[in-house]
Amino acid sequence: MAKVDLLQLRPEGLYCEIGDFYIDPWRKVHRAVVTHAHSDHARWGMGRYLCAEEGRDLLAARVGTASLIQGVAFGEVVHHRGVQVTLLPAGHIRGSAQVKVEYQGEIWIVTGDYKLQNDATCTPFELGRCHCLITETTFGLPIYRWRAPEAIGHEINAWWRANQSEGRTSVLLGYALGKTQRLLSLLDPSIGPIYEHGSSAKLTEIYRATGCALPPAKNPTQEPKGTDFAGSMVLAPPSAVGSSWLRRFGDVRTAQASGWMQIRGIRRRGAVDRGFVLSDHVDWPSLLSVIRESGAERVLTTHGYAAIVSRYLVEMGLDSTPLETPFTGEANAEEEEVEPAPV
Ligand SMILES: [Zn+2]
Ligand SMILES: [Zn+2]
């Protein structure tokens, strides 16, 4: 008997016809399973949402309609017309999930965005076995290999100390949902005060309220007039560069934390003083190990280098095709680790 395709691409998004639901749809549909709260995956206007309980409040902050969102525990099976849906942790940002879809013994997994590296702010990635894997390939080239995040954390704190000894304020740029909180978790609060931009503060609050312990971060706009910020650390989105908001900090050193710093660090020197290679996406060696260990004979790729990775997998003897999705390009660079426009 020919195997059925459990998921197919429709104009609205990735669709499971048997179960009648979409995964991370980009147009309005009646039932959406959402992997995580980044804007290219989570959109407003769906009839109902299903997501991981760990990320429910973040999704509600994004789409506004908490009453329409059902949160489920990782590993809990939900049934839709005989199709079993299970969310597995993706380790990308808080509450990020992979979607495992199972019907009559056939198993497909949609990874959403994911990484295997340590991250104190979310449940670690869990590998699932499947027949077909739909994986993101944002950093799907051999040049992308991440160093241990603990080592990057040391470098960031050393940079902060060095700036402090020169009487400067450190401004560390990263997108507001996920990266800011992960950076905060890596900072050593004994060095000095930490501030954060208003765009991430509400999200950081949700992280704390849902059980993620983070060092305290203050809102600089609530400090008394004339406050001297010298020696402090400021977490802000990339758009803060050149803004009047930044002027209050006086003599600053700026840095950006992103996977793109592996190749963009030097080219972007004009915009920031320093680049830290810290990504919330899977790197090349981990991508290949996940594909191998999933046992999938068919691999569909999305994000970034989807076509290149797919061709590579075909050469390795797998059945693979890239999927055309809007999971990159349209995303807001502040919320997602999309490749920044060339400077
Ligand atoms: Zn994401
Ligand atoms: Zn994404």
pLDDT, tens digit, 9 for 90 and up, residues 317-327:
999 999 988 87
pLDDT of residue 260: 84
Which ligand neighbours the alpha carbon of 93 most closely? 1
Do residues 16 and 70 both lie within one domain? yes
Residues forming a β-bridge with 133: 109, 299
Sign of the Cα pseudo-torsion (196, 212, 332, 341, in order): positive
| Residue 93 CB neighbour total at 10 angstroms | 30
Q: Are 169 and 136 contained in the same domain?
A: no
Whether 227 has a pLDDT exceeding 90, the answer reads yes
Q: Of 1-15, 209-223, 265-279, where does the model show the most confidence?
A: 209-223
pLDDT tier at 331, thresholds 50, 70, 90: very low
CA 104–ligand 1 middle distance (angstroms) = 30
Average pLDDT along the chain: 92
Specify whether the CB–CB gap between 110 and 35 falls below 8 A.
yes
> Residue 1: inside a domain, yes or no?
no
Looking at the fold, whether 118 and 12 belong to one and the same domain comes out as yes
CA distances from 10 to 101, 220, 322 (A): 17, 45, 14
**What is the span of the domain harbouring residue 71?**
8-144+281-322
Q: Which is nearest to 92 in space by CA: 70, 76, 112?
A: 112
* 234 and 117 share one domain: no
Indicate whether 3 belongs to any domain: no
Based on the fold, state whether residues 106 and 253 are members of the same structural domain.
no
240 contact partners, CB below 8 Å, separation of at least 6: 171, 173, 197, 246
338 vs 25, more confident? 25
- pLDDT category, 13, cuts 50, 70, 90? very high
Residue 334 lies in a domain: no
> Nearest ligand to the C-alpha of residue 331?
2
- The contacts of residue 205 (CB under 8 Å, 6+ apart) are none
Range of lowest pLDDT (158-162, 166-170, 240-244, 278-282): 240-244
Q: What is the CATH number of the domain that holds 222?
A: 3.40.50.10710
Average pLDDT over every residue of 54-78: 96
Element (H, E) at 135: strand 132-136
Of 157, 145, 176, residue with least CA distance to 281: 145
What's the CA-to-centroid distance between 32 and ligand 2, angstroms? Answer: 16
In a domain, 100, yes or no: yes
Say yes or no: 34 and 160 in one domain: no
Number of domains in the chain: 2
- In the reported structure, the alpha carbon of residue 251 is separated from the centroid of ligand 2 by a whole-number distance in angstroms of 35
Residues 138 and 12 both lie in one domain: yes
Q: Which ligand is nearest to the CA of 328?
A: 2
Domain at 13, CATH number:
3.60.15.10
- Note the ligand closest to the C-alpha atom of 136: 2
Q: What is the pLDDT of residue 342?
A: 39
36 CA to middle of ligand 1, Å? 7
**Residue that is written with structure tokens 């810290």 in the block:** 278
In this structure, the answer to whether residues 110 and 178 fall within a common structural domain is no
Residues 126 and 166 both lie in one domain? no
Q: Considering every ligand atom, which ligand is closest to the CA of 280?
A: 1
Pick 334 or 91 by higher pLDDT.
Answer: 91
The answer to whether residue 246 sits within a structural domain is yes
| Interval between CA 139 and ligand 1 midpoint (Å) | 13
The pLDDT tens digits for 236-293 are 998 898 889 999 999 999 999 988 888 765 455 557 899 999 999 999 999 999 999 9
Q: Does residue 217 sit in the same domain as residue 306?
A: no
341 has a pLDDT exceeding 70: no
Q: Which ligand is closest to the CA of 58, given by its number?
A: 1
* 106 located within any domain: yes
Q: Residue 95 and residue 321: Cα distance in Å, rounded?
A: 28
Last residue of one domain, picked from the residues 276, 305, 333: 276
The span from the CA of 312 to the CA of 176, in Å, is 33
Give the number of whichever ligand sits closest to the CA of residue 40: 2
CA–centroid distance, 21 to ligand 1, in Å, is: 21
Same domain, 123 and 204: no
Percent of the chain at pLDDT exceeding 90: 84
Given a cut of 50, is residue 48 above it in pLDDT? yes
**Is position 338 within any domain?**
no
Within a domain: residue 245?
Answer: yes
Residue type for 189, please?
P
Q: Stretch 8-23: mean pLDDT, rounded?
A: 97
> In this structure, are 167 and 120 located in the same domain?
no
